[in-house]
Amino acid sequence: MNINSPAKVIGLDSYRSHTSQGDDLTSISRLALKLQQSIEIEPLMKVFCEETAWLVPCDSVSYSSVDQILNFSTGEKQLHHCKYRLSLEGEDLGEIFCSRDTPFSIRETDLLERILSLLIYPLRNALMYHNAIAQAHRDPLTQISNRAAFNEAIDKELSSYKRHQADFSLMVIDVDHFKKVNDTYGHIAGDKVLKSVAGVIRQTIRRSDEVFRYGGEEFVVILSNTKKGGAKFIAERVRKEIEKLIVELNESINVTASIGISSSEMMEDVSLTLEHADKALYQAKDLGRNQVVFCP
């Protein structure tokens, strides 16, 4: 196959034609069974990539979703490749990329397309499940992760810390005088302020950091692999960016926020990082708001 060939679309018609061939290859049947055994995207694609690399064979097999958020691969990419876009009933399910250091034969690409046809329905179901879980962990107003997502993320962070002793920090951010915004301008204005603040936080923190709407006007940021000094720097940068924010509705609304920080680096019991950060937040408010306070 031409190494620069465009992606070929594998869809419902291909699925029907391949499954009607009555091919009883044991290895294909085994893969088909395995693909039906998981509704979760990660184990599904792990099985597919590993089995396909062995069956064809390939030096690498990778999958990427339409939005590039989901990516799975095995092996290392080589010069010669086959690229397929998966589709079902007009829905784009993502792209499969297979490569190796020698060209693929027609027989091998036919086999690969048969294997891909077996993936169509399990992949569609796994993507639907993944999206449903993602929606359950997303705040509908700000479109950032919610409190349930934070609880899972902080448990993972604590487990990682216990295994690797990699320090992390937490920021708790609270919009100053938010009740006054609602009382003065109305809840539509309040919602716009919260969405704007969430956007500023997300754009200001690093890609490795995670932001969550914890409740009301309060946000929490997990700063992985970050000690006290780095956390202070990021928090101050976030505070300054929020201070620049002007929300336009019927009139201009200036916004500020208070931020409390805690770091595993400074604590004996790292499970109390949220409590310490929350305590620091209240200190920031008591000291006049629109400032960053670190809780030792």
User: Could you read off the pLDDT tens digit of each residue along the chain, which spans 296 residues?
Assistant: 333 445 666 554 444 444 444 444 678 888 889 999 989 999 999 999 999 998 999 999 999 998 877 898 989 999 999 999 999 988 999 999 999 999 999 999 999 998 999 999 999 999 999 888 888 899 999 999 999 999 999 999 999 998 888 899 999 999 999 999 999 999 999 999 999 999 999 999 999 999 999 999 999 999 999 999 999 999 999 999 999 999 998 889 999 999 999 999 888 888 899 999 999 999 999 999 999 999 86
Is 42 one of the annotated active-site residues of the chain?
A: no
Q: How many residues does the chain have?
A: 296
One fold for 8-136 and 147-294:
no
Check residue 3 and give its pLDDT.
39
Cα separation of the two ends of the chain: 61
Q: Would you state the structure tokens that stand for residue 151, as one six-digit string?
A: 């609880």
Check residue 27 and give its pLDDT.
80
Mark 159-194 as b/e (b = at least 16 C-beta within 10 Å): eebeeeeebbbbbbbbbbebeebbeebeeebbebbb
CATH for 147-294, options being 3.30.450.40, 2.70.98.10, 3.40.50.510, 3.30.70.270: 3.30.70.270
Place of tokens 């329905």: 121
Query: For strand 257-263 and strand 292-294, is the pairing parallel, antiparallel, or unpaired?
Result: parallel
Q: Count CA within 13 A, CB hemisphere, residue 104.
A: 30
Where are the domains positioned within the chain?
8-136, 147-294
Check residue 9 and give its pLDDT.
66
For 179-219, give the secondary structure using H, E and C.
HHHHHHHCHHHHHHHHHHHHHHHHHHCCCCCEEEEEECCEE
Distant-in-sequence, close-in-space partners of 75: CB < 8 Å, separation ≥ 6? 53, 58, 59, 60, 61
DSSP at 138: B
Check residue 68 and give its pLDDT.
73
Check residue 24 and give its pLDDT.
45
Q: Which amino acid is at 70?
A: L
Q: Would you state the structure tokens that stand for residue 296, as one six-digit string?
A: 């030792």
The region, left, alpha or beta by phi > 0 then psi within -120 to 50, assigned to residue 216 is left
Check residue 25 and give its pLDDT.
63
CATH number of 8-136: 3.30.450.40
Check residue 99 and give its pLDDT.
95
Pick the catalytic residue: 51, 157, 210, 217? 217
